Structure 1
């Protein structure tokens, strides 16, 4: 019984199929990861906003910084999954923001 290896054409087709799968899969993965980071950041912004409102209710004024919310209202200073920086609202009662432009309180909601 003779052993038959792959021909050059078969090998080329196999490599082309693998490259096609990678070409489709990697962008989809990256887009999904970006969307997940935005949703996670949006949920974190909501938690920061709730902690800030609770702080204001307890203390009579809004917190001067995120650090003022730790440890009574947050267990630690939150970090954006994409490396952005969080900032409290610029005026009392305004929601917090993230330095990544696409990360907002609205991005936490599932798309229709």
Structure 2
């Protein structure tokens, strides 16, 4: 009698090996995703802060909003906070000048938690 197929034992051994491999690979994958989100957050903050500084150097005042940076082509699009997956979740640091006009001087993330560097995301 010549039968084709796998026995139950063979299938269980293969599933056990796959489970072991996944249990080793999944944490490393999730850790690398978190590292990538932190890197994107740091880069978006750096680029946007640089655009705010260039705007201030060119115009002698701070932008009234992040949308003004996009409208005046200092940024292509609004930066996205990768931890919250939103372009509108930023906490803007606003000051008022002598004439009473307000402007955005900095932005911070509203994401809860602490990064790999030990600092809260809200303090980056």
Structure 2 residue runs of 5 or longer lacking an equivalent are: 96-102, 116-120
Cα distance in 2 for partners of 1:14, 1:105 equals: 47
Counterpart in 1 of 2:55? 55
Instruction: Check whether the contact 1:66–1:87 (CA below 8 A) recurs between aligned residues.
Output: no
How do 1:1-112 residues align onto structure 2 when only pairs under 5 Å count? 2-3=2-3, 5-71=5-71, 72-82=73-83, 83-84=85-86, 85-91=89-95, 95-101=106-112, 102=115, 103=121
Q: Aligned pair in 2 of structure 1 residues 104, 88: CA closer, same or farther (>3 Å)? A: same
Task: Compute the RMSD of aligned alpha carbons.
Answer: 2.6
Cα distance in 2 for partners of 1:37, 1:74 equals: 20
Q: Which structure carries more helix by proportion? A: 1
Q: TM-score, normalised on structure 2?
A: 0.69
Larger RCO (CA within 8 A; separation ≥ 6): 1
How many residues are matched? 106
Q: Which structure carries more strand by proportion? A: 2
Instruction: Check whether the contact 2:63–2:69 (CA below 8 A) recurs between aligned residues.
Output: yes
